[in-house]
Amino acid sequence: MKTVLVSGGAGYIGSHVTVELIQSGYDVVVADNFSNCDRTCFNGVEKILDRKLPLEEIDFCDSKAADRLFATHKIDAVIHFAAFKAVGESVADPLKYYGNNLESFVNVIGAARKHGCSNILFSSSATVYGETDKLPVTEQSERQPATSPYGNTKQICEDILRDCVKAYEGIHGIALRYFNPIGAHPSALIGELPRGVPANLVPYITQTAIGKRECLSIFGNDYPTPDGTCLRDYIDIVDLARAHVAAVTRMVDSKMKADYEIFNVGTGKPVSVMELVTTFEKVNNLKLNYRIAPRRAVDVTAIWADTAVANSELGWKATRTLEETLASAWAWEKRLAGKE
């Protein structure tokens, strides 16, 4: 049985990936410093699986701690999620993002290489494509200048992984470029749980619906899109998690066609911000209090994925509907509020 280290594994994406990995027959070691999350999702994972999991509470910016972790466990592959991820905060405090996101990844690769772990999967983002005129984007689409320090750290980490794979014999790397992960596990035991004011749209929607936030702001309705709001590719979190299992399996089973590969992980279907809001209202039979606010400088007009490569090479495809996903997000929010 292969063992996968999930760095940042107690967070939103990491917790869902941990569930899918274990249900697919992998052993998992979860590592997190809980700077971006509490233990709610980790506890939820153990409830879903009905078992205790190995948990290493470490900061990957500590190279000695990373080294000890790899020395303690026989790791066959590592999925690296551990990073700060709020776009707006990265603009306000770029050194925080460059220091944490780059150093932690360098330390993970270094420790993995030292201890014979040859398979490294990086949690990248569609933000690396920036503002592009050619849609949908493919893996060959040119990366545009990042619109935020957060986005720039994703580009730089991709480059770090690519260069390490090229330089060090035996190292294999995959970068998964996510689009917009949303929703929660069907059990409602794990989901998105931001600290403080949500930086992402769906948790702000659910917190407004539950009464925790007074009003949802829709940033701009004058974009050159059908309804004037931005277009995004919203992917269900469980579908996203299953893509990680497919990518890890591709690595550990030596099925990669190159030592470094990139895959888009999305639905391939553009959805506007306003469409997402109205679908949430319809599916969950409620009315949101929202207002139109000025545009934000960091927002691109439109982006969605061409998923053909991931579909064919990983044997993976997004299957959950937007309605199912938004219903799961609301079920999770109600459970957090004790109303479910």
136 upstream amide cis, omega within 30 of 0:
yes
Nearest CA to 114 out of 166, 167, 58, 171 is that of 171
Q: Residue 274 in contact with residue 227, Cβ under 8 Å?
A: yes
Q: Residue 252 in contact with residue 77, Cβ under 8 Å?
A: yes
Q: Which residues of 138-151 are buried (b: 16+ CB within 10 A; e: fewer)?
A: ebebebbebbbbbb
* Most distant CA pair in the chain, distance: 56
Dihedral angle, C-alpha 35, 39, 45, 47, nearest 10 °: 180
Exposed, middle or buried by CB within 10 Å (0-12, 13-18, 19+), for 282? exposed
Paired with 292 in beta bridges are 218
Distance CA 155, CA 153 (A): 5
Nearest CA to 122 out of 20, 7, 10 is that of 7
Q: At what angle do helices 201-210 and 273-284 cross, to 10 degrees?
A: 40
Q: Which residue has the tokens 């004011």?
A: 197
DSSP 3-state percent helix, strand, coil across the chain (nearest 5): 40, 15, 40
Q: Among residues 150, 178, 223, 234, which one is catalytic?
A: 150
Asked about 97 being catalytic, the answer comes back as no
Alpha-helical segments (H) within 191-256: 201-210, 237-252
What is the full DSSP assignment across 33-65? --SS--SHHHHHHHHHHTS---EE---TT-HHH
Q: Report the catalytic residues.
A: 150
